Amino acid sequence: MSRRDAIQLTADERREFLATAKTIILSTIDRHGYPHAVPMWFVMDGDDCLMTTYAKSQKVVNVQRNPKVSLLVESGVTYDTLRGVLIRGTARVEPGLETCLAVLTRVQTKMLGSQPPGLEEALRQQARKRVVIRITPTRITSWDHAKLGGAY
């Protein structure tokens, strides 16, 4: 077994890691061909990653021009604690107030743990100017250096 195979997260470990991660880095390609990397709050929908952003944002412009994106979630501060998931995929913009409201609600619940009174109406107001970006993976790479047991 290769070291790459030895440190790979299982599908269940990957799902748990993504379910508990707060922020993911979305990288799109700008009009000059450079990566445009931004932190985003997100939720998973099966293997797809969902997030919301303003309909006129640079991310949306970039995705509409080139739907190839990458997503990165990582944790750890020393080599033996590094864990992460890199997703390469295809993004698509999904407009619609109710679609956006549903994703915003899921994201806020994940981030806050509950919904304070009045949150739904505040999110509905936000959703009017926002869209959902759905990323469907084409390739997933993961790692957990703790699986090496201190041997490098």
pLDDT in tens, 69-100: 999 999 999 988 999 999 999 999 999 999 99
In order of start, what are the domains of the chain with their CATH numbers?
A: 3-148 (2.30.110.10)
pLDDT in tens, 126-143: 899 999 999 999 999 999
Q: What is the pLDDT of residue 104?
A: 94
Q: What is the pLDDT of residue 150?
A: 62
Instruction: Pick the closest to residue 124 from 144, 151, 104 (CA basis).
Output: 104
pLDDT in tens, 7-65: 999 999 999 999 999 999 999 999 999 999 999 999 999 999 999 999 999 999 999 99
Q: Which residue intervals of 23-144 are DSSP H helices?
A: 58-65, 97-112, 119-127
Q: What is the pLDDT of residue 120?
A: 84
pTM, whole model, 2 decimals? 0.91
- pLDDT at position 114 over 70: yes
pLDDT band at 152 (very low <50, low <70, confident <90, very high): low
Q: Which helix (H) or strand (E) holds 135?
A: strand 130-144
Q: What is the pLDDT of residue 39?
A: 98
Q: What is the pLDDT of residue 1?
A: 63
Higher pLDDT, 135 or 113: 135
Tell me how far apart the alpha carbons of residues 117 and 124 are, in angstroms, rounded to a whole number.
13
DSSP conformation class of 114: S
Question: Rounded to the nearest 10 degrees, what angle do helices 97-112 and 119-127 cross at?
Answer: 130
Q: What is the pLDDT of residue 118?
A: 79
Q: What is the pLDDT of residue 151?
A: 63
Tell me how far apart the alpha carbons of residues 69 and 62 are, in angstroms, rounded to a whole number.
9
